Amino acid sequence: MPDQLRIARPDDWHLHLRDGAALAAVLPHSARQFARAIVMPNLRPPVVRVEQALAYRRRILDALPAGAAFEPLMTLYLTDTTPPEEMRRAREAGIVAIKLYPAGATTNSDAGVTDLKRVAAVLEAAEREGVVLLVHGEVTDPEVDVFDREAVFIERHLVGLRRSFPGLKIVLEHVTTKQGADYVAEAGQNTAATLTAHHLLYNRNALFAGGMRPHWYCLPILKREEHRRALVAAATSGSGRFFLGTDSAPHASALKEHASGCAGCYTGLHALELYAQAFDGAGKLDRLEGFASFHGADFYGLPRNAGTATLRREAWTVPEVLPFGEAELKPLAGGETLAWRLVAADIGSSQ
Ligand code: NCD
Ligand code: ZN
**DSSP line for 49-97:** SHHHHHHHHHHHHHHSPTT---EEEEEEE--TT--TTHHHHHHHTT--E
As a whole number of angstroms, the distance between CA 134 and CA 169 comes to: 9
Asked if 154 and 179 touch (Cβ cutoff 8 Å), the reply is yes
With a CB cutoff of 8 Å and minimum separation 6, the contacts of 146 are: 221
Asked if 222 and 204 touch (Cβ cutoff 8 Å), the reply is yes
CB 38 less than 6 A from any atom of ligand 1: no
CB 107 less than 6 A from any atom of ligand 1: yes
Is 247 catalytic? The answer is yes
Distance 98 CA to ligand 1 centre (A): 16
pTM of the model: 0.97
How many residues are recorded in the chain?
351
Among 107, 146, 207, 258, the mutation site with the greatest number of ligand 1 atoms within 8 A of its Cβ is 107
CB 247 less than 6 A from any atom of ligand 1: yes
Neighbouring CB atoms inside 10 A of 212's CB total 11
CB 219 less than 6 A from any atom of ligand 1: yes
Q: What is the CATH number of domain 10-303?
A: 3.20.20.140
Residue nearest to ligand 1 atom 6, measured at CA: 264
CB 136 less than 6 A from any atom of ligand 1: yes
Closest ligand 1 atom to residue 250 Cα is: 3
Query: Which of 176, 168, 270 shows the shortest CA–CA distance to 219?
Result: 176
Distance 44 CA to ligand 1 centre (A): 13
CB 185 less than 6 A from any atom of ligand 1: no
Q: What are the tens digits of pLDDT across the range 280-309? A: 999 999 999 999 999 999 999 999 999 999
Q: Which of 80, 115, 148, 247 is catalytic?
A: 247
Among 42, 260, 330, 332, the mutation site with the greatest number of ligand 1 atoms within 8 A of its Cβ is 42
As a whole number of angstroms, the distance between CA 127 and CA 134 comes to: 12
Q: Using N-to-C axis directions, what is the helix angle for 178-186 and 225-235, rounded to 10°?
A: 30
Distance 2 CA to ligand 2 centre (A): 33
For residue 14, give the ligand nearest its CA. 2
Q: What are the tens digits of pLDDT across the range 146-186? A: 999 999 999 999 999 999 999 999 999 999 999 999 999 99
Asked if 253 and 330 touch (Cβ cutoff 8 Å), the reply is yes
Q: Which residues lie near ion ligand 2 (Cβ < 5 Å)? A: 247
Asked if 244 and 291 touch (Cβ cutoff 8 Å), the reply is yes
Q: Mind listing the pLDDT tens digit of every residue in the chain (351 residues)?
A: 679 999 999 999 999 999 999 999 999 999 999 999 999 999 999 999 999 999 999 999 999 999 999 999 999 999 999 999 999 999 999 999 999 999 988 878 889 999 999 999 999 999 999 999 999 999 999 999 999 999 999 999 999 999 999 999 999 999 999 999 999 999 999 999 999 999 999 999 999 999 999 999 999 999 999 999 999 999 999 999 999 999 999 999 999 999 999 999 999 999 999 999 999 999 999 999 999 999 999 999 999 999 999 999 999 999 999 999 999 999 999 999 999 999 988 988 644
CB 252 less than 6 A from any atom of ligand 1: no
Distance 268 CA to ligand 1 centre (A): 13
CB 249 less than 6 A from any atom of ligand 1: yes
Cα 151 to the center of its chain, rounded Å = 19
